[in-house]
Structures are given as structure tokens and as C-alpha cells.
Amino acid sequence: MRRRNINSTFALVAIISTVLACSFPSATETPATTPPATIIVENIVTEGPPTDTSIQHQVIPVSLPEFRSSHAGDYDSSITAQEKKSAGGDRFTFERFERPFNANTMDVYFANLDIVDTFVYQDDTWIYGTIQVKDRTTANSSPYRFAMQLDTNLDGKGDWLVIASNPSSTDWTTDGVQVFQDTNSDVGDLTAMLTDDNAIGDGFETMIFDNGKGDDPDSAWIRISSQDSNTVEIAVKRSVVGNPTQYLVDMWAGHATLDPALFDYSDHFTHEQAGAADPGLPNFYPIKSVYELDNSCRMAVGFQPTGSEPGLCQVLVPVVPGSTAGPTACVRPPTCFGCGYTWDPVTCTCSQVPC
């Protein structure tokens, strides 16, 4: 009986040893390792700041003020496009452009660049510029831009430029909108809006706002007018451009040639290089390096101009009874025709009336 118990004990020990042997790795077996820390980290959900924080706008333009602060019409070159020339107003040496055409042949007319009317409005927060072109829906749909230039010290040299890509909606947007400043005061070089030989200026060289990014994310906006699909509206905060109470302003439209670095154009090209849109200037016609570009004359806002301001729109003076001035002293300007305008030859004034 005792021998049987011993044998049973040995058998039990053998079984236990075999089981334990199976539980330990052999000399050639790689021990199991602890899962790497990265796996554990991946199972931990953490939230940090987003890499591209959405721009939060606080102040957005609403509607334009009821009353305008200034107005300047412009030539409608669709009238003369078949003749491969502008309808008037193209004078390179005076920084006036009427060039909604392609270069050299002038056989393509860009109605979406042909400015026909401009207005300026303002309130306590905003300066608004409106630019009406002949036709924004034209098939010539390559990218183009609109711009508003401000001369806030009235010396004829631009100080600020608000430039924007063609908008696609009647909602205000900062997409495609930029604001530039000429911090080194070389726009216009020596003589404002007149050709200067050997000019070396770099135009509007300092960008202070870009697509909603800048010290003030609400600096400038653009939209299509809800009243007219051929009109775009630009808004810039007064505080961004130095809170001017008096300024000169002009509007621009162009393709890639509308470049902040090229202001003033008459200082960056010779007349021979730029060409002319008027066949009456045969030494320069047709347009060449400066093409697909249009601008308005300069409007005075907040002050009575003397008439000597560079680039100023035509200032009309009524004929004084008894003076020697002939009847041509007061001529109805091309900007005072069409629906919405009436002309008073006695006071030599153009007034806006309902269509």
C-alpha cells in the first residue's frame, strides 16, 4: 500500500512538472513583450488648439448709406470697341487709362473691365466704393480684380490701395481682399500722376490685410451689389486707413496687370512701352505693355477741390453773367448722361434723379 502511494506521488509530480514546463518559454522562444507606449497613447483622446483657427468677424458692413459722397462716371468703350479704340479718356502720361482690350491687336474687348460709373459713400465706420462695369457676366471670364485707391494727404500720391478678386456673391466677404499701404511714400515718385523718367519706386509695398488676416480681421470687404449684378461694392474701415476726413479716391479694374507694385504706372513704363488706346496718338497706338486696365478720375471727398489736384475729375464752373467766358465754359460732362442724371446748364451742375 505504501509503495502504491509513493508511485502515485511521483506520477502527480511528473504531471505538475510537465504543466509548468509548458508555461515557461524555452531557450529559443522569444519572450512576449509589453505593448509599445505608442499604442497606449493612441488610445488616449486629447484635444489641442486647431491648426487653422477660423476667422471670427465682429464688424461686417450692411447697407450703403442713403446719400453718396462723390461720383465719377467713365467712358463706355463698348461703343468704339469694333474700331479697336477707347471711347476717350486714355492718357498714359496723366495716369488715366481706358484700356479694356487685349494688347497689341486690341481685337478683344473685355466688358467686365470697362468701368462706366463709380460712386463713393461713407459713414462713421466705413468708406465704400462702387464700381459698375459694362457687363460682369461676359464670356471673357478669366480672373480679374477691382481696386479703390485713396490719397489721404491730398498730394496726388496714393497712400492706400484696397484690391480684391472678382466676388461671386451678394454677401459681403473678405475672401480675395487685400489692403496695401505705401509706407515709403514713393507711389507717384517725384511728380504725382505724371511720368517720371528713371523712377525706382516699389508702389504699394506693405500688405496690412490679406483675406481676413491682419491686425483687424474686418478691415475690408467686397460683394456684388444686390441692386445691380454689374456693380461691385468695396468697403474699408475708416480706422484702417487713418480715419481721414478729407481724401481723393479713384477706382480700378484689371486683370493680372492690376498690380500694387506698379503704381504709378506712368512711372514704371515709358509711353512707348505702354502704348495708347487712341489712334489719334499714332506714335504710341495701339496699347502694348499696359493693357486690360481701366480706372476712373479722382473724386474729392470731404473738401471743395481747387481744380489743381492731380488726377481730379473735371471741375465745372458756372458761367458768370457779364463775364467774357464763352458758352463752352460750362459743358455737360460725359458722366452726366443716361438714366438717373439731369443737367442744369444755368448752375452748371449734374444732379441724380430717379430713373
Query: Any idea where the domains of the chain sit in the sequence?
Result: 70-311, 316-355
**What DSSP state is assigned to residue 262?**
G
CA distance 276 to 258: 17
pLDDT of residue 137: 82
Place of cell 502694348: 288
Q: Are 255 and 199 contacting, i.e. CB atoms less than 8 angstroms apart?
A: no
Please report, in tens digits, the pLDDT of each residue of the chain (355 residues total): 444 444 554 444 454 454 444 444 443 444 443 333 333 333 333 344 443 457 889 999 999 999 999 999 999 999 999 999 999 999 998 999 999 999 999 999 999 999 999 999 999 999 999 999 999 987 555 579 999 999 999 999 999 999 999 999 999 999 999 999 999 999 988 887 777 776 778 999 999 999 999 999 999 999 999 999 999 999 999 999 999 999 999 999 998 889 999 999 999 999 999 999 999 999 999 999 999 999 999 999 999 888 888 888 875 544 455 544 444 445 556 556 555 666 665 556 666 666 5
Burial 226-241 (b: 16+ CB within 10 A, else e): eeeebbbbbbbbbebb
Q: CA-to-CA distance for 312 and 301, rounded, in angstroms?
A: 11
3-state secondary structure of 282: coil
Reading the block at residue 172, the C-alpha cell is 459681403
